[in-house]
Structure 1
Amino acid sequence: MLERVLSSALASAAVAAGSLLAAAPAHAATYQTTASALNVRSDAYLSAAVVKVLSGPASVEVDCQKSGDSVTAGSRTTTWWAHLPAHGGYVTVAYLNTTETKLSGVPECVVDPEPPMDDVTLADVQAMFGSRIANPSIVQTGLPSLNQAMRDAQINTPYRKAAFLATLVHESRLEYNIREIGDTRPYGGRGYIQLTGDFNYGPAGRYFGIDLLGNPDLALSLQWSAPIARWYWTVARTINPYADNLDMGRVNAAIGYPAGAEDQRRCDSFKNALRYLTGSVPSGIICTRPAALRGDTSKLTRSQFAALAKQGSGLG
């Protein structure tokens, strides 16, 4: 952690220099977009933040390309994304006027092998949670999409990161593709957040424009597992404020299982994560739930849960 902190100034300078180079490419190829409203994303992933929407078709300049999430448009499927320096982001090659799945003559973007300063690494989560990280290779594969989901969800403070990661390590061992063991229900637990119930699969699918009810295994795919965890944390529930208050009781209740011994286990993991991220365990951590939230809260709507969570709360 100390080494990563000491390198922050150098990392910031490198990012700034890279941005300047991207803004003024030595050579750029011109393409037409083929969509009427095309998302320009901050990275080559469908979970990445939308930085702009291009009306179109439009003429765009591409200075480099990188591999990311797979996108299908018509009969063409590609994992390649074009960087548009004038628009500060990436669009999938699937919506450019070419039959290619990778643009010929366009160089690959130079990717810094070091993760962004604030990204969580495999070494980080192993230090936080020890043997709970049972399949390091799977965790490593999922971390880029999980880190992007955390950025999108504003999980950007030690308290929020500790609460989110402690929750997921108990839900899924931080494995994006895990299915709840022994659960044969059509809408049983899947993915990072262990999405459960048609009352969650339906709204999550509508939010992302995918058919989760018809194809629930999308919830444990690399493409959608992390975005769905972000959706649950910020849309189905509003959990960041509970983390800000060090209130793991309400965080646990928001996940949707009855109170019991598991609450303390998750609170202990929260403390371990905080100790690693901040160097100490702050005072004021709340591990128990208010009485109104001790039952199974999984089927409550966002507003119903929020109303119960306010009882006895200082959140206002």
Structure 2
Amino acid sequence: MAAPAAAPRPSYRPGVAMLKRVLASVIAITAGSFAITVPAYAAPFQTTATNLNIRSDAYLSAAVVKVLAGPTSVEVDCQKSGDSVTVGSRTTTWWAHLPAHGGYATVAYIDTPGTKLPGVPDCPQDPPQTGDVTLADVQAMFGSRIANPSLVQTGLPSLNQAMRDANINTVYRKAAFLTTLVHESRLEYNIREIGDTRLYGGRGYIQLTGDFNYRPAGQWLGIDLINNPELARDIRYSAQIARWYWTVARNINPYADQLKMGRVNAAIGYPAGAEDQRRCDTFRTAIAYLSGQPAPAVNCSRTAKMSGDTTRLTRAQFDALAKVPGAPGTVG
């Protein structure tokens, strides 16, 4: 992150932190395909950065929803603890929610003497996550795509274990992973790609394809998938193969954290096309269900280099292809 240009630090006045009436009623601001609600009360503060990243959540891996020029005045309605940020001699884990901008800014770049904003309440806690996905959950998210509920139910214990093992434990990660699997296999652990007669054709949750995937997946699991490819759709291995692809063959969790569903799709390997938009739509629906609120803006796009079939790329090759230099002059 580039350091912000030096700016005069306005003198802090305790009275400024008092909650005030900013609107007589709630105003809905349309932002893309979702609405941002500005609460009736907020507290004014001053940012200290030239270009400040406003993120979808209080984490440095969260998607940047806006870059706010400044220093400028902002309204803060609540604050939450997240990733630690150090600016100069001050370190803070607190992030301010800026309702008018639809996201969070680190308190490190807000003019206040401490590490937490005075007079501002903590944000409500995120909806609790049990860590386990139920049949009712996937039916609510994916509807008719769950074509064989009893089979899906049978596979869920192994799938939930694989998700725990892969740290697929946040709303965005769960939504991206489950969206991918429901489009690949309808969440059926033993499915074989229809009409695919290839020895190493699509099998299982992730539709493992190609000897270049069967061999390393088998080595990672300690089984011989080359000579026994049908094991890829065995309930003992199907979910763990999906975990292997998500975290070993590729490193997909960070793309989910950043709401970059286009890169998730590219990492799965199929060429760009209409399927990308279908998966993005399903991703949004899954986020809304898991979080209990409309999904933030999702990046469905791919670069030209990632628009083709990437299945044969190694992880290092794909990471190099997907790497985008950080924008200069942005912080937070």
> Shorter-chain TM-score: what band?
0.5 to 0.7
Shift of 1:156: 0.1
2:319 is matched with which residue: 306, 312, 316? 306
Seen in structure 2, the aligned counterparts of structure 1 residues 256 and 277 have a Cα distance that, compared at 3 Å, is: same
User: SS where residue 180 of structure 1 aligns?
Assistant: coil
Shift of 1:257: 0.5
Shift of 1:148: 0.1
Seen in structure 2, the aligned counterparts of structure 1 residues 191 and 290 have a Cα distance that, compared at 3 Å, is: same
Distance in 2, Cα, partners of 1:302 & 1:219? 20
Deviation sequence 1:266-312 (CA, Å, 0-9, x none)? 11110010010012233231011122100100100000000011136
State how 1:88-167 maps to structure 2 within 5 Å.
117-167=130-180
What is the aligned partner in structure 2 of residue 201 from structure 1? 214
Seen in structure 2, the aligned counterparts of structure 1 residues 187 and 119 have a Cα distance that, compared at 3 Å, is: same
2:287 is matched with which residue: 274, 293, 309? 274
Distance in 2, Cα, partners of 1:159 & 1:241? 10
Preserved CA contact (<8 Å) 1:259 1:294: yes
Shift of 1:170: 0.2
Preserved CA contact (<8 Å) 2:214 2:225: yes
Preserved CA contact (<8 Å) 1:290 1:311: no
Distance in 1, Cα, partners of 2:205 & 2:221? 16
State how 1:208-223 maps to structure 2 within 5 Å.
208-223=221-236
Shift of 1:168: 0.1
How many matched pairs? 199
Deviation sequence 1:124-165 (CA, Å, 0-9, x none)? 000000000000000000000000000000000000000000
User: SS where residue 300 of structure 1 aligns?
Assistant: coil
What amino acid maps onto 2:264 in structure 1?
Answer: V
Preserved CA contact (<8 Å) 1:187 1:216: yes
What is the aligned partner in structure 1 of residue 14 from structure 2? none
Distance in 1, Cα, partners of 2:294 & 2:257? 14
Q: TM-score, normalized by length of structure 1? A: 0.62
1:243 is matched with which residue: 256, 268, 274? 256
Q: Which has the larger radius of gyration?
A: 2
Preserved CA contact (<8 Å) 2:189 2:205: yes
Preserved CA contact (<8 Å) 1:168 1:174: yes
What amino acid maps onto 1:244 in structure 2?
Answer: D
Q: Does 1:231 align with 2:240?
A: no
Distance in 1, Cα, partners of 2:293 & 2:131? 19
Q: Does 1:185 align with 2:182?
A: no
Distance in 2, Cα, partners of 1:140 & 1:313? 42
Q: TM-score, normalized by length of structure 2? A: 0.59
Superposed structure 1 runs of 4+ greater than 4 Å apart: none
What is the aligned partner in structure 2 of residue 171 from structure 1? 184
Shift of 1:182: 0.1
Deviation sequence 1:27-80 (CA, Å, 0-9, x none)? xxxxxxxxxxxxxxxxxxxxxxxxxxxxxxxxxxxxxxxxxxxxxxxxxxxxxx
Shift of 1:209: 1.0
Preserved CA contact (<8 Å) 2:131 2:164: no
State how 1:6-155 maps to structure 2 within 5 Å.
117-155=130-168
Preserved CA contact (<8 Å) 1:292 1:311: no
What amino acid maps onto 1:197 in structure 2?
Answer: G
Shift of 1:313: 6.7
User: SS where residue 313 of structure 2 aligns?
Assistant: coil
Distance in 2, Cα, partners of 1:164 & 1:297? 18
User: SS where residue 207 of structure 1 aligns?
Assistant: helix
Preserved CA contact (<8 Å) 1:172 1:178: yes
What amino acid maps onto 1:134 in structure 2?
Answer: A
What is the aligned partner in structure 1 of residue 29 from structure 2? none
Distance in 2, Cα, partners of 1:235 & 1:310? 17
Seen in structure 2, the aligned counterparts of structure 1 residues 124 and 194 have a Cα distance that, compared at 3 Å, is: same
Distance in 2, Cα, partners of 1:294 & 1:201? 24
User: SS where residue 166 of structure 1 aligns?
Assistant: helix
Long gaps (5+) in structure 1: 1-115
What is the aligned partner in structure 2 of residue 294 from structure 1? 307
Distance in 1, Cα, partners of 2:205 & 2:199? 17
Distance in 1, Cα, partners of 2:221 & 2:174? 23
User: SS where residue 203 of structure 2 aligns?
Assistant: coil
